Each structure stands twice: as structure tokens, then as C-alpha cells.
């Protein structure tokens, strides 16, 4: 079985996106948000069958851990009330996708984070999505400000309420920022990779996992710059008098395979233990075209993993075993369906 841990609903029906625009316009004008539109099951099916589902079948994957479009989370837009409304609308739509395609999609939720706000609303939405909608995790943005980086480090006690709820519910988070309003940082080419790298360094500097030994966090996009500079981070941990990374961070942190060329994937597997790598493609997402050097889609990451020369045991970990370990609620659901 091949489980893709990193999928976003980038092809949501147009009425959903139009409602968001209307919601933000209403906020700016001091009005109530418009009524959320009626979106039919057929519209959802078409948006999935012609896109993610078609590509999953063509590329030989079985299931996607699916969440709202990351670049559209927009925590920096509106206020906390707006963020709550938008997150609930996005998560309810993901639940409908999972309900229509239960063998292929399982939900991960967007949190209604808002700059300067506490995390009570995020805790409540996580619980709703896991308990009522059957979701298996969440996306957690380390920078709700959209590129200004005004939030405390992920090791700060500010974040502890969401970590406590994650541990209670036994769900992980993918550390994933949204759009960047800072023109210095291109969203997917700079802001995303900066966030991945920054999060990892914050984990080195702090002692988060001493307080939350059962917490599990996925850093996407192959861990940002971390594998490429692994010696730097090992050395910094030593200079900061921290334990080796294998003990201090990597019992709790996992990287995905959203790396869009073969040398990058090969490096990832040479540096990072396969037990800490979860298969992902971010399809359909940041890079949608074909590589002119290979003739294949950049985000067809299974091709790279297949060519990485993994042992059968390591391939089984990367393609499904690690995902089932990191997302135990997914494992429980699969076992209930007889997928051992």
C-alpha cells in the first residue's frame, strides 16, 4: 500500500473560493459574511476525479492524507472570527471529500490560527475535526502572520495547548505555513522552505520533546534545507550542549518526500534514516509542470523513491509503515477495513 501524507485540496469548486473572497470583502466593509454556497456532491466528485484521483491512479498510489489548500489558509487575513469561519468551511469540505472517497482520502484539518490570538479556537477545531469528522491530524502554521514571523518559536509555551490536545487525541501535525504577504519571500519557493528549516532549528534550540515525548511533527518539503546542511545542524546541537539529533529531535520529527528531483531524494535518503521519512508528493500543488529533462511531472515523487535503491523493508516503511505509525488513527481505520 502506498500512502501519500501530503495532499491539498487545490482544486476545490470555484464557489468555495468565491465565498472566501466575499467573506473577506464583508469583513473589510464591516458586514456579515455571505451565506456559504450549496456545493453538490457531483461538483466535488468532478473536482477530485479529474485531478487528484486520476493522478493517484496513474502514479500507483492508494491513499492521500488530505487537507485544505495550504496557501489559502490565510491566517493573516481578517480576524479570529473570520479564520474560524473559513477553517470550518474548508474542513467541512475535506470531510465531504473523504466521505465520497473513503478508500482514497482521509482528512487533516486546517486550524483557525490568527496573529496575536490564543489557541483556544484551534484546540476546539482540532477536537471537532478528529472526534466528529474522523480526521487523523492537523496542519500547524509556525507563522500565522504570513511572512512577518511575529509568532513565538514552536518550542514556546504559547503552543502548548495545541500540543496537549494533539497528544490527548493521538494525532500529529504537519508544520506548514500559508501564503506570504512579504514580497521578499516567494510563497512556495522561499517561504515554505524557510519555515521548514526554521522549525527544525527551533526544535534544536528548545527542549520541546522533553515536555511532550509523544508529540509527532512532520516537516514537509523534504525537511527544507535541513538534510542538505545536516552537518551544520549536528554541529549546532553540539555547540548548544544538546543531545545528538537522533535523541533530541528525530524521535519526534519526520520529513516527507516532496523533493522534486532525483539527486535531492537520493541525498534525503543518504542523510536521514528511512524510519523518519514519510512518502508525500504535495500533488496537485506547488510545482505542477513536467520536467523538460525527464519528461515526467516534477511532483511524481514515487518515481524518485522507486529509483532510490531502498531495501524492501525500507520502502515499506516509507510508503506506508511510517505514515501508519505517525498517524495512528489512520492505522486504526485501515485495520478496521482489514488493511493489515
For the stretch 179-212, pLDDT in tens is 999 999 999 999 999 999 999 999 999 999 999 9
- The gap from C-alpha 12 to its chain's centroid, in whole angstroms, comes to 17
H or E, element range at 4:
strand 3-9
On whether the pTM is more than 0.85, the answer is yes
pLDDT at site 329: 98
SS3 for 336? helix
Q: What order do you get walking across the sheet with 253-256 strand by strand?
A: 109-110, 138-140, 173-175, 217-219, 253-256, 277-278
- Phi first, then psi, for residue 311 (nearest 5°) are -70, 165
Q: What is the pLDDT of residue 283?
A: 87
287 confidence band (pLDDT: 50, 70, 90):
confident
Cα–Cα distance for residue pair 141/143, rounded to 1 Å: 5
d(CA 214, CA 136): 15
Quote the CA–CA distance of 82 and 79 in Å, as a whole number: 5
Which of these is catalytic: 46, 58, 282, 293?
Answer: 282
Of residues 308, 304, 253, the one with CA closest to residue 275: 253
> 47: closest CA among 97, 6, 12, 94?
12
**Where are the alpha helices (H) located in the chain, listed in sequence order?**
14-28, 41-49, 52-59, 80-100, 120-127, 160-169, 192-205, 208-211, 230-239, 245-248, 262-271, 301-306, 312-316, 322-326, 328-336
- pLDDT greater than 80 at residue 157: yes
Q: How far apart are CA 282 and CA 238, in angstroms?
A: 33
Contact 14, 287 (CB under 8 A): no
Mean pLDDT in residue range 223-235? 98
Active site residue 282: yes
Quick one: pLDDT at residue 202? 98
Please determine, for residue 285, whether its predicted confidence score (pLDDT) is greater than 80.
no
Q: Which three cell numbers stand for residue 308?
A: 532510490
Amino acid at each position: 500500500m502506498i500512502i501519500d501524507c501530503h495532499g491539498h485540496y487545490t482544486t476545490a469548486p470555484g464557489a468555495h473560493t468565491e465565498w472566501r473572497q466575499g467573506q473577506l470583502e464583508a469583513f473589510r466593509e464591516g458586514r456579515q459574511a455571505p451565506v456559504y454556497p450549496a456545493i453538490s456532491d457531483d461538483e466535488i466528485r468532478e473536482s477530485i476525479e479529474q485531478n487528484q484521483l486520476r493522478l493517484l491512479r496513474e502514479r500507483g498510489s492508494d491513499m492521500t492524507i488530505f487537507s485544505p489548500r495550504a496557501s489559502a489558509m490565510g491566517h493573516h487575513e481578517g480576524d479570529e472570527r473570520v479564520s474560524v469561519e473559513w477553517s470550518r468551511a474548508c474542513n467541512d469540505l475535506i470531510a465531504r471529500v473523504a466521505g465520497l472517497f473513503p478508500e482514497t482520502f482521509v482528512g487533516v484539518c486546517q486550524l483557525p490560527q490568527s496573529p496575536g490570538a490564543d489557541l483556544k479556537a484551534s484546540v476546539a477545531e482540532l477536537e471537532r475535526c478528529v472526534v466528529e469528522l474522523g480526521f487523523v491530524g492537523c496542519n500547524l502554521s509556525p507563522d500565522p502572520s504570513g511572512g512577518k514571523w511575529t509568532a513565538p518559536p514552536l518550542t514556546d509555551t504559547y503552543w502548548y495547548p495545541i500540543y496537549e490536545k494533539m497528544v490527548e487525541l493521538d494525532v500529529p501535525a504537519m508544520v506548514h505555513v500559508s501564503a506570504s504577504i512579504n514580497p521578499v519571500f516567494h510563497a512556495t519557493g522561499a517561504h515554505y522552505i524557510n519555515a521548514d528549516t526554521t522549525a527544525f532549528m527551533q526544535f534544536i534550540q528548545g527542549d520541546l520533546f522533553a515536555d511532550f515525548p509523544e508529540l509527532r511533527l512532520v516537516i514537509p518539503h523534504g525537511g527544507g534545507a535541513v538534510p542538505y546542511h545536516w552537518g551544520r545542524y549536528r554541529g549546532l546541537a553540539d555547540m548548544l550542549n544538546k543531545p545528538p539529533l537522533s535523541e533530541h529531535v528525530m524521535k519526534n520529527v519526520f520529513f516527507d518526500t516532496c523533493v522534486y528531483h532525483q539527486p535531492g531524494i537520493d541525498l534525503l535518503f543518504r542523510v536521514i534514516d528511512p524510519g523518519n521519512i514519510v512518502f508525500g508528493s504535495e500533488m496537485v500543488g506547488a510545482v505542477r509542470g513536467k520536467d523538460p529533462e525527464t519528461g515526467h511531472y516534477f511532483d511524481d515523487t514515487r518515481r524518485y523513491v522507486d529509483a532510490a535503491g531502498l531495501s524492501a523493508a525500507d520502502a515499506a516503511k516509507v510508503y506506508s509503515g511510517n505514515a501508519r505509525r505517525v498517524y495512528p488513527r489512520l492505522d486504526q481505520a485501515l485495520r478496521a477495513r482489514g488493511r493489515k
